[in-house]
Amino acid sequence: MSDVGVIGIGIHPFGRHPGVSGLDMAAVAARRALADAGVRWEEIEFAAGGSDAAGNADTSVAVLGLTGIPFINVKNGCATGASALATAHAMLSAQTADVALVVGFDKHPPGAFNPLPEDWGLGAWYGETGMMLTTQFFAMKIQRYMSEHGITASTLAKVAAKAFRNGASNPNAWRRKPLSEQEILSSRMLNHPLTQYMFCSPGEGAVALVLARGQRLRDAASRPVYLRSVAFRTRRFGSFEVFSPSIPIESAPSPTVEAAAAAFEQAGIGPDDVDIAQLQDTESGAEIMHLAESGLCQHGEQELLIQSGATELSGRLPVNTDGGCLANGEPIGASGLRQVHEIVLQLRGEAAERQAPGPRRVGFTQVYGAPGVSACAVLSR
């Protein structure tokens, strides 16, 4: 199999951008990624991309130029960006193209998502009676987890405080105001035990990456970051997932456990080698649980890890150094690629004010979403 590397990254700032369409943001991110790679759009041989709610990604070629390239539109919930990345990675690994573009973008209205039960195989009653909310699921998952593994509300607040602190030093982040743990804990309780500032919000933004293999990778203008693996999995019988009117008593690991294990195995790199990670933090509990589900620590170890500062920018294993979903919001199609964008910046040593100190060689990304899908990637210098 051929080595695949990320040779260019581009981002349109996350947040709220009235009057700017999702496709406009995608084109901005794509042009920035091309410029960063020193590659012209006409040289791109394959592209994949998607959004959840802002249109077909391949319509962005009308803006970038109609070059006739094969373009695959991807729509796969929260794993949209990672699925586009996996598709491009597979095409390059199979040597069907030498240079590819991946793009993800989205533009959601304010407020919590309001998915309709009928789209998820459920009766209308499930939504009518007030159970069709992702926030409830995350609250109930961490509630159970806290009682089983001794995680405290203070640790939930520390995760959010870290996110906003990191976001404050990220010019592309949406929420750039640091918040104290006390402010986070005393903000409005939305879904016990999670308060307002422990949740991310749907938002807007776009990210693009240029990937290359072979000679194009060796000729890259900047030192590439290798994309060692991408793996994604859906839920098995017994895992506790969102939008479930019932769950089995016999339990199975979450799709993140299997996706992470597969990504590490394909990469030939273990979780102990990871120097920096970007994890799905839809709310602060998710980051805590995903740390262990990804294999980056044992269940229950998070309390000490987070309280001791190990996941801070200067810690042993910095997590969500760009502020994660909490500070960037969640434009679904762009979110997974934002994680890769940040890992590339950090491994290049170009993250400026929020650069994690010391040599950082291996990065890891993980996204999770409804109805039980997870995608993980391993990157390295």
Partner 1 sequence: MSLAAARPIADGLFVEAGGELRLLGSECDRCGAVTFPGQASCPRCTSTDVSDRLLARRGTLWTWTIQAFAPKSPPYAVDDPEAFEPYGVGYVELPGEVRVEARLTVADPDQLRTGMAMELTLIPAPGVEPDVVTYAFRPVDGEAP
Residues that bind partner 1 (CB under 8 A): 111-112, 114-117, 123-133, 136, 139-141, 143-144, 147, 188-194, 237-238, 244-249
Q: How far is the CB of 242 from partner 1 (least distance, A)?
A: 11
- Tell me the CA distances in angstroms from 213 to 24, 87, 218, 263, 347, one per residue in order: 28, 14, 8, 19, 19
- For residue 193, say if its preceding peptide bond is cis, omega within 30 degrees of 0: yes
Among residues 5, 1, 2, the alpha carbon closest in space to that of 380 is found at: 5
How distant, in Å, are the alpha carbons of 18, 48, 182, 363 from that of 14?
12, 21, 26, 22
Using CA atoms, how far apart are residues 177 and 256, in angstroms rounded to an integer?
A: 31
Nearest-approach distance from CB 325 to partner 1, in angstroms:
19
How far, in Å, CA of 268 to CA of 27, rounded? 35
Q: Name which of 10 and 193 has its Cβ closer to partner 1.
A: 193
Residue 98 or 330 with smaller CB distance to partner 1: 330
Residues 319-332: b if buried by 16+ CB within 10 A, e if exposed: bbbbbbbbbbbbbb
CB of 201 to partner 1, least distance (A): 13
**The Cα angle at residue 317 between residues 311 and 319, in degrees rounded to 5:** 55
Residues in the chain: 381
Q: Minimal distance in Å, beta carbon 342 to partner 1?
A: 30
- The minimum distance between CB 140 and partner 1, in angstroms, equals 4
Q: Quote the least distance from Cβ 245 to partner 1, whole Å.
A: 5
362-369 vs 276-279, strand pairing mode: parallel
- CA 54/CA 332 separation, integer angstroms: 10
Query: Which residue lies nearer to partner 1 by CB, 22 or 115?
Result: 115
At closest approach, how far in Å is the CB of 166 from partner 1? 27
Contact 376, 231 (CB under 8 A): yes
Nearest CB to partner 1, comparing residues 211 and 289: 289
In a 3-state reduction of DSSP, which class is residue 354? Answer: helix
The CA angle 294-117-79, to the nearest 5 degrees, is 30
* Cβ 109 to partner 1 shortest distance, Å: 10
Nearer to partner 1, 235 or 341 (CB): 235
Supply the minimum distance, in Å, between the C-beta of residue 125 and partner 1.
Answer: 4
130/357 with CB nearer partner 1:
130
Nearest distance, CB of residue 269 and partner 1, angstroms: 34
Between 214 and 238, CB nearer to partner 1: 238
First to last CA, the chain: 18
Q: Please say which residue, 189 or 304, places its beta carbon nearer to partner 1.
A: 189
Task: Tell me whether residue 125 or residue 221 sits nearer to partner 1 (CB atom).
Answer: 125
Q: Which is nearer to partner 1, 56 or 143 (CB)?
A: 143
10 Å CB burial of residue 114 (0-12, 13-18, 19+) is: exposed
Region of 39 on the Ramachandran plot (φ > 0 left; ψ -120 to 50 alpha; else beta) = beta
